[in-house]
Structures are given as structure tokens and as C-alpha cells.
Amino acid sequence: MEVNGGAVSDPETIRSQFLQLLRTRRNAQLPLTVEPAKPVVKPLFQDVTPPTFSEAMESCPKANIGNLKELLKEENLYLHTEAGDQGKLPVLILSTKGNNQEKRPAVVFLHSTHKCKEWLRPLLEAYASRGYVAIAVDSRYHGERASSLTTYRDALVSSWKNGDTMPFIFDTVWDLIKLADYLTGRDDIDPTKIGITGESLGGMHAWFAAFADTRYAVAAPIIGVQGFRWAIDNDKWQARVDSIKAVFEEARTDLGKNEIDKEVVEKVWDRIAPGLASQFDAPNTVPAIAPRPLLIVNGAEDPRCPLEGLEIPKTRAYEAYGEAHSDKFKLVAEPGIGHQMTPLMVKEASDWFDQFLK
């Protein structure tokens, strides 16, 4: 497969190419197996100062249930998505106890860089209170899949050096495809009503998982969708690069450069996420989600996801959805907001799922 080719307009073709890319970097295939796990007592955050509170996380609409804590059902498990340590996907599922056998809608939540699935618990509880099965996972090299404060950073550098893994976005998308295998087979989930959302890195995961796997029926990526090629061409890549700077510094040294420039950026993306700044970029993958409902929520002043870089993806998406499905695509840019998830964004996503999954 040519990963540096031009635009591919046919959604099925580009989806097939992307899935083929994912398969080229896989360890030995395993049958999908489920292993019981225990709740994580001390979640690992790869931040120097672990986060303690998030207004946005706590703002998610909840049903008015006085004894919600007693009604919640928690499941902790591992899915084996491929051979090797990183092929063990930790999953946290919250739902409400009930005797009815009715299948429920489900939403998958994805955390941001250096966080973990436990950080998402307030969102999981809020959605569970409203009748959803709420699912969170640890992305690659995060949470239970990390062993130190530098696990993710080290994985990115190793990918640049060795070119054998895709720790930035793509490997976790493989896990999310396997997660869909599992979720669609559960007795309590309606397989036609599975949504996906996430914040920042998790928003990128949600975007690419919805593109790659049509079983994700509704998507609402938050502060994650961006134009990688546009950022390179318009010299707006700095904020995104700074968020995972170690790998770019390593590449700069290896390439004999005095500073990180657009050539370094392009080479890193091509190495750790092939096609991210070419055929798998937003102008091709965002429209490929049509006609499934897609909400993109960003900050209008976000330097990591510059709004100007979404003009072409937005235009192509409106064309892909067409008049018949025009209500199924929406891009919200919150004024005055940079790279942060806000209560408004959480509410927009919540309303989106209620509209299309309930």
C-alpha cells in the first residue's frame, strides 16, 4: 500500500487501506478472549502532578437518582487484542443494575494524553444513570498499560527509532476495533447503538475508530479533530508537536537538524503514524464517517487543532452527508476556548448521543 499517495475519495477504499496498514504492524493474532480484572486502586497518571478535579468531567448531565451509587454495576476486564503486553486491553464498564433484558445503547469514552480510564469515571457514571452502558479503556502505553511516568514518551521514541509500532493513535484504534467485536456480542448492548467519544488524544482515537469501524454508529470527538497536512503546510504544527515533544527532539537529532522544522514533523508523522498527514488525514477520513452522526467539538482558539485546518474536512463532510443527512453532521467551535474540554462540550456530546442513540 502506498501511504504517501494523494487523496482517496472512496470511503470504502480508504477504510480498507487503513485497516491493511493496521494489520501490517500487528503482533501474532489471537482469538479475542476476555479475562476478569480487579478495580484499579491507584491509577497511573503520567503527569508530574496527577490531576484531582475537572469541572468539565463533573458537569455531565445525570439522571436524578438518589441511590445511584448502589444501583451502579461495575465491570473490570481485559480483552486480548493481539499477542504481547500491549495486546492486553484494560476495560472499565459501568451500567445500572436492572432485571429487564432490554438491550441498551452504549458509549465508549477515551481519555487524553497521560490520563487513564479511571479519570473518566464521572462521565461513565453520568451516562450509566441515563440508561447507557458506559465503557472506558486505557489507550496504548497508558494506565494499566504503562509501567512508569515515561512509558508513553518512550514508546513514541521507540516507534521513531524502529518503525515497528504506531503508538500515536493507530495502535489504539486496532484495540477499539476489537472492542467493537466484544461489545456487539454482549447481551445487554444494542449492537446498532454504540457511540464513541473522547478528549484530545481520546478525541483522535474516537475520530479514527469511527472512520475505521462502522459499528461505531455515532461519534463525538472532543478537541481531537485536526488537519495534520494543513498544519505542516501553514506552519501551525508547533502546539501539537510540543504536546509530545520528546519524539520530535529525537528525530531532530537523528536528522542532524539544529531545530525542529516542518521536515522533521512530516518525517515523524510518516514514521509513527503512516499516512496521518496524507491520505488518512481529516479531509479524507472525516467525510468517510458519513452518513453516521458525527459531532466535532473544538475550541475556536485551539492551537493544537486550528479551526482553519478543518475548513476542507468540514466542506467535504457537508457534501458527503448531503441534504438527506444534513442534521447528522455538526461542528461546534466554542468561542474564546483553546485546547481544553469544557462543560459546554460535554453537554453538546451528551445531547448528541441522546438524540441519535436513544
**Based on the structure, what is the number of domains in the chain?**
1
313 lies in a domain? yes
Contact present, 30 and 80 (Cβ < 8 Å): yes
Pairing mode of beta strands 104-110, 189-199: parallel
Q: Is 198 exposed, middle or buried (0-12, 13-18, 19+ CB in 10 A)?
A: buried
Looking at residue 105, its amino acid is P
**Per-residue pLDDT of the chain in tens (358 residues, 90 and over written 9):** 333 344 446 999 999 999 999 999 998 888 999 999 999 999 999 987 888 889 999 999 999 998 999 999 999 999 999 999 999 999 999 999 986 778 999 999 999 999 999 999 999 999 999 999 999 999 999 999 999 999 999 999 999 999 999 999 999 999 999 999 999 999 999 999 999 999 999 999 999 999 999 999 999 999 999 999 999 999 999 999 999 999 999 999 999 999 999 999 999 999 999 999 999 999 999 999 999 999 999 999 999 999 999 999 999 999 999 999 999 999 999 999 999 999 999 999 999 999 999 9
Interatomic CA distance for residues 164 and 162, integer angstroms = 5
248 lies in a domain? yes
The position carrying cell 462540550 is 345
61 lies in a domain? no
47 lies in a domain? no
Burial 270-283 (b: 16+ CB within 10 A, else e): bbbbbbbbbbbbbb
C-alpha cell of residue 169: 493513535
pTM passes above 0.75: yes
Which CATH number covers residue 289?
A: 3.40.50.1820
59 lies in a domain? no
51 lies in a domain? no
Contact present, 110 and 219 (Cβ < 8 Å): no
34 lies in a domain? yes
How many angstroms separate the most distant Cα atoms in the chain? 65
Q: Mutual orientation of helices 245-254 and 151-162 as an angle, nearest 10°?
A: 30
DSSP letter at 139? P
Whose CA is closest to 197, among 188, 186, 185, 209?
A: 209
Q: What is the pLDDT at residue 99?
A: 67
CA dihedral 352, 355, 356, 357 (to 10 degrees): 100
Q: What is the pLDDT at residue 9?
A: 66
| Containing structural domain, residue 137 | 11-40+71-357
3 lies in a domain? no
